[in-house]
Structure 1
């Protein structure tokens, strides 16, 4: 597939007497801002709200077709369309061309993208910086890709589905491609699948993905004939087909959710114990490490008051354990630093609230009466 044939659609004319570069940038900016707001306005009255009978429709978010060839990648990258430049480091493998459309289904947004071949990398630093923990679903209508996620490689052929956890790093090379993509909140993915940890880098083969792939291809051509009110139903159909496709690819049998949560609770406690003294032990870090949402983390330790309360309790127990040892008092500042408290004063207050005395009194009592 040649780069010149990849991006077709809306074009922006250059005003007479104006230099091409500013005109292209103004045109692209106008297209992008309109599409990203999801604002499909009446042609006769841009301020008029959509009537209830409005139809669904794909909105052109970006197109390089009208841009000078030597500016296409720069304009796309600097425009940060759909936050792609923020989330990925990219390297074109051939002269760059792209076209991106957006369809708002009310409860779900989906994008249709045409790209020339390119390297895409989501580094660990970018994942930590933007704190995005959505799952991205990519349905490949044309063009294969090679992915590397969590140290393992996978090939995604035409007709496959690729799932990526945005909280974790990934790298992939894609041929010139046509794809449909969507971002799902972690909590929504957890409602679809009993376990999310194995989803990162999972490729659903074409034979299992066929129903969703063909449905999205049909929606690409027929959305404009559907009323806007049908958007949420169409979104649910997409999610149902995704769930069926992924389940078929894993050949899953019904999972005992209680057993799964018990195992996850053990994992969570082990992760906390390994990092108990680290000041960077946060809910966000645990969420990324275990591949679950914050609400799931809270539910796993709800009986202990939630994750933060559990971590605080375990840290105080470690401090108390040190204080019970003869000669183990040291300094409160040293204990605070060792067990992840921000300073000695905070540790002192927290310890008194829990044990009813200062750390010094607690140490003195247990040294004087070792059996206490």
Structure 2
């Protein structure tokens, strides 16, 4: 399509009601790529779009009567503006909340973002603050990081998962969003079970990110997540506790390497890579779980 026609085509298509709800003015030659992920209970929009202004006026609000809460996760590209009298300064990596029942005018840099909406009644029940008070609230990158990275992973991997997993995936997104919002407000989520689910996910993600570190232990995790050792144990009780879970995950990574043809890491190298003190200790631990030595396991799966 000719560059001169792209903006008009996008605006007239009114994808996800964006053109109906907002007046937009491009800052540069317009390009856009948008995808939609239907998780059953919520839909998630994914967009890569050039810089432009976004304005929602009082007459538009009166006409369309939309009052959902919009959650805009900004993977790359910041935004600045006015949210019904509240200054908006949102860097890349942050999350911006917008109440569609209130006016807004902001300029967005060229960005990659993920967005979803929550019906007002759902948001009022789910979140630790009113929708009206959250208009223009920015969740800082350090508090938003887990949800930002999770949505990026979901974007890349969701097509490999069965459609029936949609509601569970949606629940994880909502749990992580509530955790991030509560952290940014300095409050605890109202739903205790939701808080536990989000914390459990965050714990497992943190373990995966640091699985190769020899210093990964309960003390370090307790400090990183800001929870007690007993809470960590409760979250992983079914897996035998924190240290047992860490060992199981490390052994699973080692087994994956041993099954991979062309992976020439020695057992000693794998032991060092995944936090075991030496090859002998790794060998004993591996045999307890898999019933054979690492060398025999490799030979069985690669023929070498």
TM-score, with normalisation over the residues of structure 1?
0.50
1:225 to 145, 153, 160: 160
Q: What is the match of residue 155 of structure 1?
A: 89
| Contact 2:25-2:53 within 8 A present in 1 as well | yes
* 1:325-354 C-alpha deviation (Å, 9 max, x unpaired): xxxxxxxxxxxxxxxxxxxxxxxxxxxxxx
1:234 to 143, 158, 169: 169
| Contact 2:79-2:89 within 8 A present in 1 as well | yes
Partners of 2:24 and 2:189 in 1: CA distance: 40
2:181 to 227, 246, 271: 246
1:128 to 40, 57, 62: 62
| Contact 2:178-2:189 within 8 A present in 1 as well | no
1:167 lines up with 2:101 in the alignment? yes
Aligned pairs for 1:58-73 within 5 A: 67-73=1-7
| Contact 2:28-2:50 within 8 A present in 1 as well | yes
Larger radius of gyration: 1
Partners of 2:17 and 2:100 in 1: CA distance: 13
Partners of 1:151 and 1:134 in 2: CA distance: 19
Count of aligned positions: 189
Partners of 1:254 and 1:245 in 2: CA distance: 10
1:82 lines up with 2:13 in the alignment? no
SS of alignment partner, residue 82 of structure 1: helix
| Contact 1:147-1:201 within 8 A present in 2 as well | no
Aligned pairs for 1:72-221 within 5 A: 72-196=6-130, 197-221=132-156
Partners of 1:184 and 1:160 in 2: CA distance: 18
- Cα 1:254–1:175 shift into 2, 3 Å: closer
Shift of 1:146: 0.5
Shift of 1:152: 2.0
Aligned structure 1 segments of 4 or more residues deviating by more than 3 angstroms: none
Partners of 2:141 and 2:59 in 1: CA distance: 33
Aligned pairs for 1:319-334 within 5 A: none
* 1:139-193 C-alpha deviation (Å, 9 max, x unpaired): 0001011031121212111110000000111111000000000011011101212
* 1:186-237 C-alpha deviation (Å, 9 max, x unpaired): 1110121242132110000001001100100000111011111000000000
Partners of 1:207 and 1:195 in 2: CA distance: 20
Per residue, is there more helix in 1 or in 2? 2
SS of alignment partner, residue 178 of structure 1: strand
Partners of 2:16 and 2:186 in 1: CA distance: 34
Shift of 1:253: 4.8
Structure 2 unpaired stretches of 5+: 191-304
Partners of 2:42 and 2:21 in 1: CA distance: 20
Aligned-residue CA RMSD in angstroms? 1.1
| Contact 2:182-2:189 within 8 A present in 1 as well | no
